Amino acid sequence: MTSLTMVQALNSGLRRAMENDPKVLLMGEDIGPLGGVFRVTDGLQKDFGEDRVIDTPLAESGIVGTAVGLAMRGYRPVVEIQFDGFVFPAFDQIVTMVAKHHYRSGGITPMPIVIRIPFGGGIGAVEHHSESPEAYFAHTPGLRVLTPADAAEAYVTIQQAIASDDPVIYLEPKRRYWDRAEVDDLSPISGSPWSSRVLRTGADVTLVAYGPMVRTCLEAAQAASEDGVECSVIDLRSLSPLDLDPVVRDVQSTGRCVVIHEAPVMLGVGSEVAAAVSERCFFSLEAPVERVGGAYVPYPPNRYEQHYLPDVDRVLDAIDRVMSV
Amino acid sequence: MTEDVISLLTPEGELLQHPDYPLEVDHDLLRRLYRDIVLTRRQDIESTALQRTGELGLWCPVLGQEAAQVGAGHAMRPHDYGFTTYREVGLFHVRGVDPVELLHLYRGVSHASWDPRRVGLGLFTIVIGSHALHSVGYAMGIQRDGADEAVLSCFGDGATSTGDVHEAMVFAAAFNAPVVFFVQNNQWAISVPVDRQARAPLALRAAGYGMPAVRVDGNDVLASLAVTRAMLDRAREGAGPAFVEAVTYRRGPHTTSDDPTRYRDEDELSHWESLDPLDRLVRHMELVGALDADFIAAITAEADALGERLRSAIRGMEDPDPLGMFDHVYAEPHPQVQSDRAAMAAYLAAGEAS
């Protein structure tokens, strides 16, 4: 075991994937000598060369579109989009080409492309640097969507995403980039990333989150426990596919569910979770499913973000609401 | 570059060699080009007729552009790779795309038609210009493989306005990728004339990216062949991307849903009819004695057989099994697709049982 930040864990995971498969290429802006603006690719161009760690022109559609061509030729490109708000110039290529190509080719041409996107807020950044676009991608058949909650997860799931023959939108919670965890970087990678993880079990409320909000929920569950309310915490980890069986099982026991994400509540991933829980746990529910997330406003200037982003207190407030029904 | 348009065949059908684009022309080559243009034209006519009789939802006619495409197709080597629009019927024919398979898309039973590995052509994209980037990425893969291959990237004058085509040129130049952009300037993007896309010859754009460009007479099959071959050879040798503007004309509608009488006049159409690419080739073949009645009859019979084959394959083609829509969404099993498929299967089974 090694203590690594999420940035270091991703770097190690990328390095291992490149060592294991010569077809793995990295592409993106400033990922070469600079190592990416967050340093996730630090040192990789020096070790793997400019043909495998490609500093591209500054054009996101160009990066993803050329990745499609490389995938057609048998490569496995791993694309870095510098920030969440900059993925939209590539949105057309992702939604119309990356997501659909295996389908439209009748299964002949897979698209083993990983698109890494640092996402979410909480770092005091300027406009377009704090967004949570996951629902767009999870809503698009043909894409898989993964988001690691901590460094240990990041080390394993980035390699699993690269090994997948399907395209994966890989959302890195940038506010957790510098959090440390013990990472097992010696054992072989095993298990499936396409399932939820039950991180804590409690009898009263089921908290469902992913990415940056997992830590927030663990902290809220700890605080609630001190007040005598016991919460389960489930990390969805994969947003497509969405593995709700562990959530349903847990809610059938607790009867109460709160879903938390940074993205606006309106038509967010939490809406799908709430609808599925209502369908499948209708006779077990003691309270309506609560959703905690961003307001229906563009991501605000960062002096507002402490109010915009869900925090421990807002999760506790929602727990109070479902407990008081 | 100059703004001159390179031709090898005069309107009267005389062959003039060009110092930069020499071409060995024998009777066998002329006959193969003749056959390919005639069969492309017949495929186009038959497909339009199938749409008009309700057997196809749509067709994109190629009339007028056959020489540009057939010439470019002959310029490619077997292991080269092409990316096209939906209108490259001549190129599909030269590369061996089954004309019945091509119609599966227009019949609505499939989103795509052929196995790219077999014919060395990527599936065409319907979003204009998107595939220009795929061409460059594929060419970057050729570079990394160290292969002696090049990519032909076909699109039209309208596509040159898209951001993806611009980014494709930037990437191709930055990485010196072995790709030739083959732009058929057919003068119209549905109803919008080329001067709304560009106020200077399209080929002039290439200089800004740092790549050579040539304007070629797209109604001259020998010129299209000679110029495109030279550019593909150059790309294979590591000299980087190039831009070919084939100046031609779309004489038919944009698609069978279009009505060009609303936006262009008869005089323009008549002018381009007088420049018909097959007529020009025929005049040359007659001059050099490469065309005889037996050969013409044989190709006509082949075209008739092609028409009969298309009609019999498409008329009355069965709709696909409804559950086929769930196939190949993902390469690996995806629980959401599986559960949606199971739900539809149960619904259909219940309907059949009741």
DSSP assignment of A266-295: TTSHHHHHHHHHHHHSTTT-SSPPEEEEE-
pLDDT band for A186, please (50, 70, 90 cuts).
confident
| Interface probe, candidates A26, A51, A73, chain B, greatest B C-beta count within 10 A | A73
Residue A190 predicted with pLDDT over 70: yes
Nearest CA in chain B to A243: B335
Cross-strand partners of A58: none
Pairwise CB contact (< 8 Å): B331 & A166: yes
Chain A CB contacts of B111 under 8 Å are 100, 103-104
Residue A48 predicted with pLDDT over 80: yes
Q: How far is B80 from chain A, CA to nearest CA, in Å?
A: 12
Active site includes B250? yes
Active site includes B106? no
Backbone angles phi, psi at A289, to 5 degrees: -70, 130
Contacts of A296 (CB under 8 A, 6+ apart): A264, A265, A266
The catalytic position among B32, B52, B111, B263 is: B263
Quick check: B187 and B218 in contact, CB under 8 A?
A: no
C-alpha separations of B230 from B4, B7, B35, B138, B301 in Å: 17, 14, 23, 20, 34
Count H helices and E strands in chain B, helices first. Answer: 13, 8
Residue B91 predicted with pLDDT over 80: yes
My answer on whether omega of the bond before B116 falls inside 30° of 0, hence cis, is no
| Domain parsing of chain B, residue ranges | 5-320, 321-354
Residue B354 predicted with pLDDT over 90: no
Pairwise CB contact (< 8 Å): A65 & B117: no
Which domains, from first to last, does chain A contain? 2-183 (3.40.50.970), 197-323 (3.40.50.920)
What whole-number distance in Å separates Cα of residue A156 and Cα of residue B354?
50
The catalytic position among A101, A129, A139, A261 is: A129
Quick check: A44 and A26 in contact, CB under 8 A?
A: yes
Quick check: A307 and A290 in contact, CB under 8 A?
A: no
Residue range B23-42, pLDDT digits in tens: 999 999 999 999 999 999 99
Pairwise CB contact (< 8 Å): B138 & A69: yes
What is the C-alpha R_g of chain B?
21
- In 3D space, the residue among B147, B154, B172 whose CA is nearest the CA of residue B237 turns out to be B147
A238 in contact with chain B, both atoms CB, cutoff 8 A: no
pLDDT at B81: 98
pLDDT at B22: 95
Residue range B7-19, pLDDT digits in tens: 999 989 999 999 9
pLDDT at B353: 85
Pairwise CB contact (< 8 Å): A241 & B168: no
Residue range B330-344, pLDDT digits in tens: 999 999 999 999 999
Place of tokens 């929920």: A217
Residue range A80-114, pLDDT digits in tens: 999 999 999 999 999 999 999 999 999 999 999 99
Out of B130, B133, B328, closest to residue A102 by CB: B328
A93 in contact with chain B, both atoms CB, cutoff 8 A: yes
Residue B1 predicted with pLDDT over 70: no
Quick check: B201 and B213 in contact, CB under 8 A?
A: no
Contacts of B271 (CB under 8 A, 6+ apart): none
CATH class name, domain B5-320 = alpha beta
C-alpha separations of A51 from A48, A163, B109, B267 in Å: 8, 20, 40, 53
Residue B2 predicted with pLDDT over 70: no
Q: Is B132 helix (H, G, I), strand (E, B) or coil?
A: helix
Place of tokens 């902290």: A219
Q: What is the mean pLDDT of chain A?
A: 97
